[in-house]
Every structure is written in C-alpha cells, then in structure tokens.
Chains A and B, each alone.
Chain A
C-alpha cells in the first residue's frame, strides 16, 4: 500500500478523534455567559401571583411549580401541586433530571423572589429555557391571593375585577367551601392582619 495513503488515513483518523473529544471540553449544554446576561436583563421571566393562581385553579397541565426553599419550609407550607427542589441541590444531576420537562412552564418560588431568582440563573446556565420566577414569592402570594386588599372607591374597574378574582382565589386556596354563601365569605376575610406600617415591595 502506498505510504501517502496511510499517512492521509491516519491524519484523518487523528483529526476525527480530536473532534470527538472537543465538544466535551466546551460543555455546549451550558448557556454562554453573554446570552445569560441578555436573558437576565429581560423582565419576562417574572410571573405574577395572579397568573399562577389562575393556572392552579384552571389546573393548567403545563404549570410546574418548584419550591426552592429548604425541605422543612416546604413541609410547613407549599403551593398546591408544587415539588420541592431546594437550592442546595442545584449542582446535582438529580435536580437536572427533575427539571427536564421541556414542554412545561417551570415556575420557581421562594419566600421572596431572591432564592427563586438565584435558582433561575442556575437553571438557565444549565440550559433550561422554560423557567420562570414567581414575582414576590410567597410573601406576595399571601398579600395578594390569600389576603387581598380591597381597592379604594376611586380605583378603576380593572382593579375591582382583579380584587373579585383574588377574593374568589382566596376562598379556593384557603379551602373554604366554594358553594357557600356570602356569610361565610366574610368570615374568611377576617384573617387579615392589621399591619403597623404598610409593607412596600420586597427587597
């Protein structure tokens, strides 16, 4: 056999082998930091408590709620249907597998929205594109859905219809019988606490 032919063949084989090794080094599954930053500055990752409440009530099959708080907090209270993936575990392959539902809308939540946002950054880096953050977290959930505040008399019609929705949602989530009449409705609203100072948006 011709020597040139052998050289040519071996060269090609070596290069082919090199190509095989290369992708692993570059870790193409992870998102490029620059793209990550572009996504970070988009506010589109935030979903409101109203949207999530609506999805839960409508039993939206695409909604996947992920509680990123520690397990003990999750045991105390969690949104219905949520699964618990504490932030601690985000480096593990298990978490990666749990999040691998490309068709679903994965919504992270925590007490406020910081931990959820951190989880979002990490998940995004891992290459998950269908991830969202519950704006304001559980604090906002309580303030808007569980204990909705009646808008002022001068408020717009939209605000009132939103309030009506939230009142209904509150009944739904606090587990009061849905078919009951106005008398029990009022008994639910008394859970409202008087706060010394109005709490402005979270940190």
Chain B
C-alpha cells in the first residue's frame, strides 16, 4: 500500500469517524442494568450473620403499632396471596421486584428511612430474592424468619401460651449422629458403602425439638 497516495483530509475524516464509533461502542458495551454493589466477601457475611433477618416477635410488634416505617411485601404468586396473607402486605412477586418501577420505589422508601420486609411461604423461599436485592445495593430490604407458614402456625396457636414455638433458621432438629446410630457397623464385604463418613460422635445434651 502506498501511504503517500492517501488524501490527508479524507484520512482524517475516516479516522475521526472510526474513533467515534469505537468509543460509542465501548460506552454502550453490554452495560448490565444492575450491578453487584457487594463483593463476594460482603455477600458471604450477609448470609452468615443473618443480617436483615426479622423474627416473628418483631413482626407482631410491627403489626400492633404500625408506625409505617416498614413496608411488608409478599413475594409469593397472586393466587397464594389471594388465599391469605399477612395483614397490610402488598403482593409483588419475586421476579417483578427487579422491575424499574419497583426498584425505584424501594430506593425511594430507603431515602425516607423505610424498610422493606419480604416474606414467602418459608424463609428459604424469600431468601433468594432478599439476597439478590441486598447484593445489588438495596440495603433496606429485610426478610421474615419462618415466612408465612410459621406466621400461620403462630396465629393458630394464639391464646395457647403453654405451647411456645420458636423458629431458628437452619437449626438441627435432631442429633444426627445419634439418630443415624447404627452406621459404621456394616461388616459385609460386598456392601456398597465403603466407609461411612461418621467418625466421631459428640454427645449433644438435648435434641432440639423442631420449631418451624
């Protein structure tokens, strides 16, 4: 190619256009609408510390004196919501939570110092949406321990103070090693389990009764 044959003016125009197109391309490059505001370390801490977990006692306080500093959101589908929900809760299903409008609303509520308490049928059901929202920076979101199922159980056992039921997230309801007792006694050579993983058994003082 004979460079000297190029028309300097034409080259300049082409060059400028080229650069502009590339820059526009870079700026608009698959910029995701939502980005994580927490790094992995923070996300792990969020999970481990049960940060943002609200228990049913706090919920009943909230329902007794609604100071309007918390908005309850039922993340189940409309059908389930229609069959019954916590009084005062709105219904926004999990997927819709990330819509432009709803995110803006959550941010607006945050600006006013209002928390958003999510619940599903169980804690686990609402945990995913809660973690997703927290990780993209909506720190005013909370999640209800025990979910709607446990709320219902509490409601039905109301007035019966002899039965105190509590709900602790991810609690062992059994002493597993004890219950799976006779493991480790396989003597048959042809048995497919080679070595049961159970090695040591600690005696736990009492088996924890299932709460929720």
Contacts and interface: CB of A to CB of B under 8 A. Distances in A.
B132 A36 contact: yes
Nearest to A72: B202
A146 B131 contact: no
Given A34-B33, A76-B200, A121-B132, A202 B180 contact: no
B140 interface: no
Contacts of B124: 112-114, 117, 202-203
B112 interface: no
Q: How large is the interface on B (under 10, 10 to 19, 20 to 34, 35 or more residues)?
A: 35 or more
Nearest to A93: B40
27 contacts: A2-B3, A2-B4, A4-B8, A5-B3, A7-B15, A8-B15, A33-B36, A37-B94, A40-B128, A57-B192, A77-B177, A77-B198, A77-B201, A79-B197, A88-B44, A114-B127, A114-B169, A115-B47, A118-B131, A121-B131, A138-B172, A147-B179, A193-B207, A199-B173, A201-B122, A202-B212, A203-B169
Given A75-B199, A121-B127, A175-B185, A33 B132 contact: yes
Interface string A105-118: 00000111111011
Contacts of A130: none
Contact of A90 (B33, B44, B122, B209): B44
Contacts of B180: 77, 142, 146, 173-174
B61 interface: no
Provide the main secondary structure of the chain A interface: helix
Provide the main secondary structure of the chain B interface: loop
Interface of A: 1-2, 4-5, 7-8, 11, 15, 18-19, 22, 26, 30, 32-34, 36-38, 40-41, 57, 59, 73, 75-82, 87-88, 90-91, 110-115, 117-122, 125-126, 137-139, 142, 146-147, 172-179, 188, 191, 193, 195-197, 199-203
A2 B200 CA distance: 79
Contacts of B179: 142, 146-147, 191
